[in-house]
A and B are shown apart, each in its own frame.
Chain A
Amino acid sequence: MQVDQAPLEEAFEATIAANDRIEPRDWMPEHYRQTLIRQVAQHAHSEIIGMQPEGNWITRAPSLRRKAVLLAKVQDEAGHGLYLYSATETLGVSRDELTRRLISGKQKYSSIFNYPTLTYADVGTIGWLVDGAAICNQVPLCRTSYGPYGRAMIRICKEESFHQRQGYELLMTMMRGTDEQRAMVQESVDRFWWPALMMFGPPDGDSPNTAQSMAWGIKRHTNDELRQRFVDMSMPQAEALGVTFPDPELKWNEERGSYDYGEPDWEEFWHVVKGNGPCNTQRVAHRKAAYDDGAWVREAASAAAARNEAEASQARVEQAPRPSLRGSDGRVETR
């Protein structure tokens, strides 16, 4: 059936122009839908894969307090992934399909998670710098033009603050320790600084999708704008902590009211994006193993649901009809 798209497109553009939100059942250009699916799914995958580098340290946390914090944080990453998968599904793609695309390498996740976590200080550095960079990226996305994505981001941003603060506090604790511990922190920061800067994506000149995404209100700032904001935010935090960043070009620019900084190694960035980073293979293999190993749990849950349903329908036959609204506490609210 041929439908005249002009009025639909006009309504869509008017909604975007009014800075209003697009909702799941609204008409939207196919390219807008596909761009969102790519971006939100990549974001969801990043949260899920992002559980691995830190999850690596749960069994070796230095104290019960650190362990409880790390468990809560990694559980949050799972939750964030699920909020975002939920948003992606409203665009008409199924969750199983998204998992398949991740495992088969068809969809990407943030390259930062392809770097290894070598010491417990990395748990702190990831919280401070990696989650800090994520917050820079995510706060403007709370105002993204697609309603479900923006709402997921609001929930996520509320929780990210805990992630960043626990990381910074961990590093502060280590900095108050021995010389060896201080050296561990500096070494960890040295390894994560450049990959954290790369989290904002390629320079604006090499980011072909940015213009369209900004016109559609999917993105609110360019990669370089956000990167600059992150550098400016991080410098005083580094000074307070007593560490340096491994960039000789970092210095305050009075004229711009911002820090100048050196160029990240974009060759390394593309190398990791293309799947050749230190941990790419391991991360995807681990995700696939977790999915495969969980098959029996999913089957058992399905079997239990089927059995409960069979028993319930048997009971319905034997007993008088039940009121339809039953509270979660099991109490029946009669109509």
Chain B
Amino acid sequence: MTTTQPDPEWPLYEVFIRSKRGLNHVHVGSLHAPDAEMALLHARDVYTRRNEGVSIWVAKSADITASSPLEKDPLFAPSGDKVYRHPTFYDIPSNVPHM
């Protein structure tokens, strides 16, 4: 997500929420704030009004480096033809248990 900010606008922060212990933080949206501390407080008000989270991360959108959708094919090509990385590639007789 890249946006160019006109000067007076606060930087854009991406918000990530861990919904409960044991799960990853997941991206939920973005918001503007003057700094990271305020971004956390805003994120609490905007994205966790109903106990949706136990932990919040915020990161400036400008600090995120993303792969390009146009390069999707070449970027992911190395894994595309390696079917032997999947367990179903291997034929095991059905009478072999626990496999």
Contact = CB atoms under 8 A, between A and B. Distances in A.
Interface in A66-106: 72, 75-76, 79, 82-83, 86-87, 89-90, 92, 94-97
B34 A301 contact: yes
Interface in B54-73: 55-57, 66, 68-70
B31 A24 contact: no
Contacts of A301: 33-34, 38
A152 B29 contact: yes
A152 B70 CA distance: 25
For the residues of A in contact with B, the DSSP-based class is helix
Interface residues of B, number: 33
Interface stretch (A203-211, A227-235, A264-272, A302-310): A302-310
Contact of A95 (B9, B29, B38, B45): B9
Contacts of A83: 29, 46
Contacts of B1: 24-25, 89-90
B35 A328 contact: no
Contacts of B40: 328
A23 B1 CA distance: 9
Contacts of A148: 29
Interface size class of A (residues with CB under 8 A): 35 or more
Given A23-B69, A152-B29, A304 B46 contact: no
Contact of A25 (B10, B31, B55, B66): B66
A27 interface: yes
Contacts of A298: 10, 34
Contact of A308 (B35, B66, B70): B35
Contacts of B34: 298, 301-302, 304-306
B94 interface: no
B67 to A, nearest CB: 9
A54 B59 CA distance: 34
Contact of B12 (A76, A89, A152, A305): A89
A254 interface: no
Given A79-B46, A89-B30, A302 B10 contact: yes
A96 B31 contact: no
Nearest to A90: B1
A26 interface: yes
A305 B68 contact: no
B37 interface: yes
B6 A25 contact: no
B85 interface: no
Given A25-B66, A76-B49, A152-B29, A92 B35 contact: no
A31 B56 CA distance: 36
Contacts of B8: 96
16 contacts: A72-B49, A75-B49, A79-B45, A79-B46, A79-B47, A79-B49, A82-B29, A82-B46, A86-B29, A86-B30, A94-B6, A159-B49, A298-B10, A301-B38, A308-B37, A328-B40
Interface of B: 1-6, 8-10, 12, 28-35, 37-38, 40, 45-47, 49-50, 55-57, 66, 68-70
Interface of A: 23-27, 72, 75-76, 79, 82-83, 86-87, 89-90, 92, 94-97, 148, 151-152, 155, 159, 298, 301-302, 304-306, 308-309, 327-328
